[in-house]
Amino acid sequence: MARGNNLKRLLNLRLLLASWPWLLVITAFALLRLSKGALLLDLYAQVSRPFWPGSAQREWLQKAQRLEDQQRLALLEAQLSNQQLDLSLRQQQGPWVTAAVISRNMQGWWQDLLLGAGALQGIRPGAAVTAPGGLLGRISSVTPSTARVLLLTDPSSRVAVELQGNRGKGLLVGDGTSRPRLEFLEKDVEVLPGDVVITSAASTVVPANLIVGVVQQVNLDALPAPEALLQLTAPAGAVDWVRVR
């Protein structure tokens, strides 16, 4: 009886209508959540514009890009004999977009960056994000003037990679620390600390042959296949400008 009364009091229509300010607030926040904060992030990007990193690193980035291109060219020439048809690289056309990092979340339950360029500059979800040194991560969501990068170290990040020289393919799995885990697909892998890891030519989500990192520690006893810890070459904690395509 008392329970019934309580229920009736809880579901009282008048009481429900009387709490309309709360309903309004909750609805507004629910809409905000559904849009993943698009309006707020755009607002933040505009407000924080005077505090964006300066352009010195941007020029440094472009210089580093030329250097990296030369290295990549040398790499490709060396591999020309067993070069395979690289569809994903051909599909990934269009200019690189340079964007400033305006919010950084490197530690904690999730790892992401917020960039000061978005859909208006031509950034699409899923695009690869690189810094001098190599791949940083992928774009997870965009708003008109911001884009969010899911870093390789985030627990939900999965990227197909391979050892340089087509020696072993694997999956790069983030685990919240600064060194993601490389899980190889085959049992027999010749891998040593110091080996360079690049994005896989088989991957359809990231361009092939981007440098990802260097193998730092190898665990050949892991089951079902060997594992390795990777030191990423792109410094996500220090970079102020990144390039997106």
Partner 1 sequence: MALFASGLVLLCLLLASPGWLQLAGMSPAWAVLWLLPWSVVEGPLAGALAGIAVGLLFDALQGSNLTSVPMLALLGFWWGQFLAARRPLERSTTLGLLALIGTLMLNGSYALQLHLRGEVNAAAWHITFAQTLLTALVAPLFCSLQVLFWRRISSRYER
Measured distance CA(101)–CA(149) in Å, rounded: 10
- Contact between residue 217 and residue 228 where contact means Cβ atoms under 8 Å apart: yes
Nearest distance in Å: CB 175, partner 1: 5
Task: List residues binding partner 1 (CB under 8 A).
Answer: 22, 25-26, 29-30, 32-33, 35-37, 40-41, 44, 48, 103, 105-110, 112, 114, 140-141, 148-150, 154-156, 173, 175-177
The full 3-state SS of 164-215, as one line of letters, equals: CCCCCEEEEECCCCCCCEEEECCCCCCCCCCCEEEECCCCCCCCCCCEEEEE
- Minimum distance from residue 173 beta carbon to partner 1 (Å): 8
Q: Which residue has the tokens 């005077």?
A: 50
Nearer to partner 1 (CB atom), residue 88 or residue 141: 141
Is residue 69 within 8 Å of residue 77, measured between CB atoms? Answer: no
Smallest separation, CB 31 to partner 1 (Å): 9
Minimum CB distance to partner 1 smaller for 201 or for 244: 244
Nearer to partner 1, 13 or 85 (CB): 13
**Which of residues 37 and 165 has its CB atom nearest to partner 1 in the complex?**
37
